[in-house]
Amino acid sequence: AQQPGTPLSDQEYRQFFLSLRAAGRASTACLLRMLYGCQNPLVQRLDEYENHGAIPEGPICSEMPGNPFFPNFCTFSLYRCTRKWYFIKV
């Protein structure tokens, strides 16, 4: 079992986004995030699922080239959505 708040493994990440890839669900999830914000219960459930049941607190380092640091998970997720880089990991 993974520690709550840690990112999914590569295999878990592929499985997580597999359902979102169908029919543009990743962009729909991003639209929900942009419309309702990171405090929306559905958005929070997705964030928790992506991070083993706990949304990481504090700064986030990502695998994004040239932009590896974000002040929190919400900012990281919004950036990922605006760039349409839905499947970039922390």
The span from the CA of 68 to the CA of 60, in Å, is 8
Q: Spell out the domain ranges in the chain.
A: 10-83
Q: Are 86 and 61 in contact (CB under 8 A)?
A: no
Q: Token pair for residue 43?
A: 């958005």
Other beta carbons within 10 angstroms of residue 89's beta carbon come to 15
Q: CB within 8 A of 85, min separation 6: which ones?
A: 64
Hey, is 8 helix, strand or coil?
coil
pLDDT tens for the 90 residues of the chain, in order: 578 888 888 888 878 777 666 547 778 889 999 999 999 999 999 999 889 999 999 999 887 777 678 999 999 999 888 888 877 777
Q: Which two tokens stand for residue 18?
A: 């597999």
